[in-house]
Amino acid sequence: MLFVELILIRWPAENNIYLRYLTNLVLLASFLGVGVGFLRADAKRDLFPYAPIALALFALFVVLFPVQQSRIGDVPVLRGIAGLPALPVWVSLPLVFGGAAVVMALIAEGVARTFRTFEALQAYRLDVLGSIAGIVGFSLLAFLGMRPVVWILIACIGFLFVLDRPIRPAQVAALAGVALIFAANSLSSHDAWSPYYKVTTIEPGDGRIALRVNGLAHQSMYPLGLLRTQQPFYGYVYAHLPPGPLDRVLVVGAGSGNDVAVALDHGARHVDAVEIDPVLLARGTELHPENPYGDPGVVPHVDDGRAFLEGTDGRYDLIVFALPDSLTLVSGQAGLRLESYLFTEEAFRTVRERLTADGVFSMYNYYRPEVFERYASTLSTAFGGEPCYDPGPRRGSGRRIQAVLTIGRNGRVANCETLWEPAGTPPAPSTDDHPFPYIEGRTIPAFYLVSLALILLASTATVRVITGGLRVLRPYTDLFFMGAAFLLLETKSVVQFALLFGTTWFVNALVFTGVLISVYLAIEVARRFTLPRPSILYAGLFVSIAVAWAIPPEHLLALSLGPRFAAAVALAFAPIFIANLVFAQRFKETSMTTVAFGANLLGAMFGGVVEYAAIAIGYQALLILVAAFYALAFALERRLGGTEAAASPT
């Protein structure tokens, strides 16, 4: 179940660019589907045998109705299959959400019907062990760069093991069909799969080698001569360097190697090239016409840029943020992109500390005006002076402008014609607690609000239809709020480790695995020992949440790696462990385990919606919501008392 969920989160985003910053949509659909599947565990008709057919139909929809970027002149347009117009967003996204929810509901029903044949905690224990196997297996495939056809073949083999015998011809045909769809979609020799997205290599015939990620133009490799004439902004920063040799350079977001090649061309003796995506780095190593990664003075690092800056003791004459625009989110997180922690006020202060006495920092991109103002203002605050502004061309007919911002460690810039001046009141800088540089202020965008409201309405209606009313869930309202609180705890753990150790897929996978291991350990403790009464467990939970709230994770960045890791694990996983002792104790006493577990999963989906509140209040304040939800759960558990025993079966 979890393995298929990870496929559904990852694969459609490679074919539908509406999902590039909305992978959380599929995660919410998965929670809804799994919750509904568990609520159907006692239904007369078993729908699990139809899961392969639903998966095949969902895959067919994804490939028949893709949303890819194309261009008419300089104007970007969205195209579907064979160059036809793409489905509008208000049609495409609801169909993706509904399709993913149906697939997960049918698989979850099979899990639930097996779940109820075990004692409550034994069933939960097996479920968590399976989840650990699913995430470890998928992470291993990401590490090996396996194509989606390998992912789906493993899922199909899993279906063959768990479907009832005899397996029906329609099921075999569906599994064969979904395997063929994935094979046709992933066997192009021009494509490679990184842990983040599909990377497509294209040679336009004009001397460049272009790379697209998930259907979007991302970067191009240029010969130096062509780069100087067509993309001169790569060299703007070098006019602002002090006289003398260029000894050490750091390029963050090195990608396929243009900035490394330019640094070498300007005499750099040593270049640390940091790139989070191993496939982009590999493509540059193999294909860049200047072969910058073959130079003995270049040291490539597959790492998160912020993590590298926090972990190095080196000092640099020049640090460049070279278009670190990931075009994707940290897996399953609302609004947090891979590069978000690079553009906070704290990050710019760290950059300043990593410069030599007369060192220079430069960053560039095609900025929206409000994002440009935020970055320039944040640089001014962190460095104590105004950055130099070197304008470039506009991108097409849109609002984005090419701009290079440069500033020295001492807050001054040599040979600068135009210093940045704020156009009115500049936007507030993003911070480590509020790392949303692309969102204006602390207001949740209207598109998010409307989408989340529709998801909640559709989910409520679906659950009412499935259960014949919401009364069956009433005895488990406390478990619903436990699910919401736990999802927020999990979110807080992911973003905390992303800040402290990097937003890489590996850190992300380790955190999710660590969460599941904490859950498993709590189950084993609950199975083997007599736990204190709920009031004592809740008291310990609230204390652990209060400690985590009192120590913001950015305060741990000053620690060396070992102590930082130990402190991060203690702060993040102590509340998770105690929370699962609370849940395990309550779950052990339930008479309708599948309904109880379904209520908990639906609560997790609600928590996934509430997670967007971080855009308004910051991530640390989510712990206040966590405490509030657990307080509600505690109050409801005491109030509900024996109502569960009187509840009728579904």
pLDDT digits (tens, 9 = 90+) for 245-303: 999 999 999 999 999 999 999 999 999 999 999 999 999 999 999 999 999 999 999 99
Q: Do the Cβ atoms of 275 and 195 come closer than 8 Å?
A: no
- Residue-range domains of the chain with CATH: 1-189 (no CATH), 198-325+345-408 (3.40.50.150), 451-650 (1.20.1250)
Q: Residues of the chain with pLDDT > 70: what percent?
A: 94
Phi, psi of 319 (to 5 degrees): -120, 130
Contacts of 225 (CB under 8 A, 6+ apart): none
Distance of CA 420 to the CA centre of its chain: 33
Q: Do the Cβ atoms of 33 and 167 come closer than 8 Å?
A: no
CA–CA gap between residue 493 and residue 624 (Å, rounded): 14
Residue 344 has a pLDDT of: 93
Residue 367 has a pLDDT of: 75
Residue 204 has a pLDDT of: 84
CA–CA gap between residue 617 and residue 492 (Å, rounded): 13
Q: Do the Cβ atoms of 611 and 529 come closer than 8 Å?
A: no
Strands lying side by side in the sheet with 388-394: 298-302, 270-275, 248-252, 316-322, 355-367, 401-408, 388-394
pLDDT digits (tens, 9 = 90+) for 578-605: 999 999 999 988 878 888 999 999 999 9
Q: Residues of the chain with pLDDT > 90: what percent?
A: 63
Residue 549 has a pLDDT of: 94
Residue 192 three-state SS = strand
pLDDT digits (tens, 9 = 90+) for 15-59: 998 887 777 889 999 999 999 999 998 888 999 999 999 999 999
Residue 282 three-state SS = helix
Q: How confident is the model at residue 648 (pLDDT cuts 50, 70, 90)?
A: very low
Query: Burial code of 360-374, b = ≥16 C-beta within 10 A, e = fewer?
Result: bbbbbbbbeebbbbb
Q: pTM of the prediction?
A: 0.89
pLDDT digits (tens, 9 = 90+) for 625-641: 999 999 999 999 877 65
Question: Locate tokens 């073959």: which residue?
Answer: 294
